[in-house]
Amino acid sequence: MRFVAPINLHQRRQRVMSRFSPLFRWTPPVIALAMAITVLASCEPAAQRAPGKIIPVEQPDSEWRMLGRDLAYTRYSPLDQINADNVDRLEVAWRWKQDNFGPRPEYYAQPVPIYVGGMLYSTAGTRRSAMAIEPETGETMWTYRPVEDEERWATAPRRNSGRGVSFWTDGQGDNRVILITRGFYLVALDAQTGIPVAEFGNNGVVDMMEGWRNAENVTPVGNLANTSPATVVGDIILVPPALAAGFRPRSMTNSPGDVVAYDARSGAILWKFKVIPDEGEEGAETWEQNSRSYTGNAGVWTSISADTELGYAYLPVEAPTNDYYGGHRLGDNLYANSLVAVDYTTGEKIWHFQIVHHDIWDYDNPAAPILADVTIDGEPRKIVIQNTKQGYSYVFDRVTGEPIWDMPETDVPASDVPGDRASPTQPIPVKPAPWEHQGISQDDLVDFTPAVRQEAINLMANHRYGPLYQPPSLAEAPDGTIGTIQIPGANGGVNWNMTCLDPVTGVNFIPSNTSISKLALRAPDPEESDMDYFSAGLRAPRVFGQIPLVRPPWGRITAVDMNTGDHVWMAPNGDTPQAIKDLPELAGVDLPRTGKATRIGSLVTSTLLFAGEGFGGDPYLHAYDKATGEVVASIELPAAQSGMPMTYMHNDVQYLIMTVGAGGHPAELIALKLGPEPEAEEGE
């Protein structure tokens, strides 16, 4: 793998970049006059040593240092310059185009910049370049372009810009931007210059595939990748691996998605947590017929949260291979689909809870666990919240792993797919109540008009359907059915777009969408896969080609008070899709505000809740009253929000920034700030 050294594009401005710069001041970067190319051979492992003492660095209110802003992943900022009285004055401060950071433009991009020490850092493009961006003007200060082994880059299963970078500091002026490349290398860059840090790994780079635990005859190339940035806690870098999507895998064998910790100073491996246990280890007995020896996936493709007081990290683990058929891996399959608490200095498991046994629905844990300190029944409690695709919030004591509210094992339907055996029960929380459509019956069908309802009934006629956890079925089943309708589908509920929490009130704001999937399996041809069955790749039907099968809302935000487990309010997010309004079958019908079934990015501040409409939605950022769910203002954007928003204060000005994009509109960063106050009318 070759890495091209960064080209610094601009000299220092003649002023301090920010008065909120406790770690360092921006000083003139070295301008690279020629491209320095480092050739990576198989690198020797760095010397093993214990990490330094864990000293969490407090961030000022002005900053947003990581994807979730803090290690609790609240996505909360205390900034209040933008508030309900002036939010309607938001206007575009600058735009940063991403068209040329790769061999082709990226339209559906998800990077979330971080703001540290008076500078923005992010990723962009299908090359997954890293860059520093001046926060007041959007000027590019340096870029770093990884040029990877062609096969490894071209076959990477996550061929996108990722969701951003991480940041490490020793608190004494050594400041690093941490990048995970598309080809699964870990890179440490000098935050001031963008040049790889020589003492980290092999000239700034660690090959994370080297020494990876793999099944026999399985290579991680083409299987192992990453989407979410690493979590940095003290001197430890926690890497969340993402693998090839499992709905139509080429094989039942794959690389396991073990979580690996690296020393932030040297790049040395500190520990690995095995998401699929080896023989004789706890949990191995949950994999029948030795299936643990060849099954893969079960990675952590979303983000890892951490509690620095306890010294615990919380791993939201995904499904094993394959997403919809488990006949090759009978059993509960630990630690897949589990929330696992580990000691982040050693990797030792503290506790775990499996949220889905023997997953055959692609119900990965999709969002970073949120940590909160709340008061329940008059007692202070430290909790961790795992919001899920299936529309439940699983809430635990984050010290012990005990459920805050009961989660009884509940009977669920059996599978009749040959060779598979669904778990007879699943843990169902009694509180909070579900905040999304779950399962489907004729009572749930969309009914804007009698004709709409009848068409929905007709479309359901040859499908299986029922409560949550209805198992997949054959596309050509003996009973004549052609698949199972699944609600929520694999897109959620909640997904990578996460949720946000106000730590002052303990209210969790949960954006969700009513995705509907058709779980239909077929036997693959031998050249397609060695599995007995995989997804037939069929879409759920829509009424008149546009209308989801169930009544709206189809995109919503639900506020849940985690002190009580009660819902506070629910609001549809976004108007009725234009394609539905334009249907001739709905001419003259007074439609409700339905919301849009998209992945909604959100953040909460001390004054407001902000949410876009997600890729495929309308180009608006909505500001909500946190207490009521009322829309205070809707700000028009150049394109729909596709990445999660963040906010920062620079030179006494608060900015909101997010990635936007649409079909025909390549991704770009948009920064918003308050426009001038309106002039007072004469006589006022």
Q: Tell me the pTM.
A: 0.92
Average of per-residue pLDDT across 306-310 = 98
The answer to whether 259 and 275 are in contact (CB under 8 A) is yes
Rounded to whole angstroms, how far apart are CA atoms 221 and 56? 35
Of 109, 50, 250, the closest CA to residue 601 belongs to 109
Rounded to whole angstroms, how far apart are CA atoms 182 and 684? 58
The answer to whether 360 and 326 are in contact (CB under 8 A) is yes
- Please report which confidence band the pLDDT of residue 287 belongs to, taking 50, 70 and 90 as the band edges: very high
Q: Is the peptide bond before 369 cis (omega within 30 degrees of 0)?
A: no
Rounded to whole angstroms, how far apart are CA atoms 495 and 629? 21
Model pLDDT, residue 42:
28
Map out the domains of the chain with their CATH numbers. Answer: 1-47+56-73+94-210 (2.40.10.480)
Cβ neighbours of 165 (radius 10 Å): 29
Residue 309 CA, distance from chain mean position: 25
| Position 468 pLDDT exceeds 60 | yes
The answer to whether 168 and 175 are in contact (CB under 8 A) is yes
Tokens representing residue 634 in the block: 């809707």
Average of per-residue pLDDT across 624-636 = 98
Query: Using CA atoms in the order 48, 68, 162, 434, what is the torsion angle rounded to 10 degrees?
Result: 120
Model pLDDT, residue 13:
32
| Position 360 pLDDT exceeds 90 | yes
Per-residue model confidence as pLDDT tens digits over 38-56: 333 223 333 333 333 344 5
DSSP codes, 499-520:
-EEETTTTEEEEEEE---EEEE
10 Å CB burial of residue 588 (0-12, 13-18, 19+) is exposed
Per-residue model confidence as pLDDT tens digits over 426-445: 999 999 999 999 999 999 99
Contacts of 308 (CB under 8 A, 6+ apart): 54, 56, 71, 233, 234
Rounded to whole angstroms, how far apart are CA atoms 85 and 652? 18
Average of per-residue pLDDT across 369-384 = 98
Tokens representing residue 191 in the block: 């935050």
Model pLDDT, residue 216:
79
| Position 19 pLDDT exceeds 80 | no
Average of per-residue pLDDT across 231-251 = 92
Of 599, 676, 581, the closest CA to residue 641 belongs to 599
User: What average pLDDT is seen over the chain?
Assistant: 91
Model pLDDT, residue 47:
35
Per-residue model confidence as pLDDT tens digits over 121-177: 999 999 999 999 999 999 999 999 998 888 898 899 888 999 999 999 999 999 999
Average of per-residue pLDDT across 448-462 = 98
Model pLDDT, residue 12:
33
684 against 568, higher pLDDT? 568
Name residue 512's beta-bridge partners.
556
Model pLDDT, residue 32:
33
